[in-house]
Amino acid sequence: MTIAEFHPPHRLLLGPGPSPVEDRVMRALAAPTLGHLDPVFLACMTDVQHLLRYVFETQNRVTFPVSGTGSAGMEAALANLLEPDEEVIIGIHGFFGERMYEMATRLGARPIRVEAEWGRPLDEQAMKAALDRSRARVVCVVHAETSTGVLQPIEPIARWVAEREGILIVDAVTSLGGHPVGVDRHGIGVCYSGSQKALSCPPGLAPITFSESALEKVRRRKTPVPNWYLDVSLIERYWGSERCYHHTAPINMNYALREALRIVAEEGLEARWRRHERNARALWAGLEAMGLELLVPREHRLWTLTTIRVPEGVEDGRVRARLLEEFNIEIGGGLGPLRGKIWRVGLMGAGSTRGNVLLFLSALESVLRREGVRCGSGVSAAVEAYGG
């Protein structure tokens, strides 16, 4: 068997994730591997936890990266918090809400759907009404729907859940580091994310944080967590002061996350959120000037991910393939019912720059024109949005 050396091209990652990774993070990733109980690695873990508390805006003791990708974070939240036959409210306004529903069902819980059209946020009153009608203590909501580009306001839902002494689980996979998440401010019970979105680390870790009341619910379970690998009461003994061996952490991925989080801390969360907002607004201005239609109304849009309706008569896959082949730019297609109908353009972490906005607008214009779309130019509008 002869399999050649692998030389992946330098793509400009402007899809729904992974996002571009800075060289500093790559160098950290390739630093010498340590044992998972080496005192130097234990110190690295402590640093990662400090930095994660900062980006989650929390004091939660139990804050660590799950040894898996974003969906492992989702599974860790649900598998620990839900018991068989337990009612749970799940807000579904896209692909990842559906995934939560699917996981809750497999865990033997009784999920109650509260739905919104894909591309719109959940109706907060509908969430409240479902909560009032049920015996659910746990409410799940996707903060940043990666399938639609919608930002779900957390605050009102969090308030009602808190009034009923419930536990709110928030999926912040595509928001953490790019939008305020405010775990403690909103009293979120469990919040998880992915390393490869606005944190600009390669994929492979899922930061997660558990509040004390969420942990209290885990401790009072009548049945064991059916998932050994993701059981927080075991994992917290490794990531906590006991440093009790659970499983071998992905050592080098933790180095990379540490460095990616240091970059977040150097920039400062506030400044990072503003940067994501500024670049997203310029992108929207450019796209609208081109005559393209965005899926999500302005007030509900993510700064990290913009969704564009594929113009009538244009073949989705051809445009994405040309962007990849001619410009080395990756963007995403639609999922589920939006397949073939939207493009997903991420400006996440290191990818959220003025240069990338202008390059992407120019590249898209170049491809669309040759696909026969009579679109205007977006660059001037974007430049103007930046204030010239």
Torsion of CA 272, 359, 145, 281, to 10 degrees: 60
> Integer distance in angstroms from the first to the last C-alpha of the chain?
57
Determine if 330 is a binding residue for a copy of itself (CB under 8 A).
Answer: yes
- CA pair distance 303, 320, nearest whole angstrom: 21
Q: Smallest distance, Å, CB 377 to a copy of itself?
A: 27
Determine if 334 is a binding residue for a copy of itself (CB under 8 A).
Answer: no
Choice between 6 and 298, CB closer to a copy of itself:
6
**Strand arrangement, sheet containing 110-115:** 62-66, 206-210, 190-192, 167-171, 138-142, 87-92, 110-115
Residue type, 126: A
The count of residues interacting with a copy of itself (CB under 8 A) is 78
Determine if 262 is a binding residue for a copy of itself (CB under 8 A).
Answer: yes
- CA pair distance 192, 89, nearest whole angstrom: 18
Determine if 103 is a binding residue for a copy of itself (CB under 8 A).
Answer: yes
Q: Smallest distance, Å, CB 163 to a copy of itself?
A: 31
* Helices 212-219 & 70-81 angle (0-180, nearest 10): 60
The window from 123-131, 137-145, 174-182, 328-336 that contacts a copy of itself (CB under 8 A) reads 328-336
Choice between 166 and 333, CB closer to a copy of itself:
333
Q: Smallest distance, Å, CB 354 to a copy of itself?
A: 22
The two three-digit tokens of residue 285, written as one number: 């201005």
Determine if 6 is a binding residue for a copy of itself (CB under 8 A).
Answer: yes
| Count of CB atoms situated within 10 Å of the CB of 19 | 29
Beta bridge partners of 342: 309
Widest CA span of the chain, in angstroms? 63
The two three-digit tokens of residue 213, written as one number: 């009341």
State the binding string over 115-154 for a copy of itself (x if CB under 8 A, else -).
----------------------------------------
The window from 178-186, 195-203, 294-302, 363-371 that contacts a copy of itself (CB under 8 A) reads 195-203
Report the residue from 59, 185, 212, 265 that binds a copy of itself according to the rule CB under 8 A. Answer: 265
Determine if 222 is a binding residue for a copy of itself (CB under 8 A).
Answer: no
Tell me the three state secondary structure of residue 80: helix
Residue type, 204: G
- Which residues inside 9-48 make contact with a copy of itself, applying CB under 8 A? 9-11, 13, 15, 17-18, 20-21, 26-36, 38, 40-41, 44, 47
Beta bridge partners of 305: 346
Report the residue from 153, 187, 226, 311 that binds a copy of itself according to the rule CB under 8 A. Answer: 226
Report the residue from 141, 154, 253, 342 that binds a copy of itself according to the rule CB under 8 A. Answer: 253
Choice between 53 and 159, CB closer to a copy of itself:
53
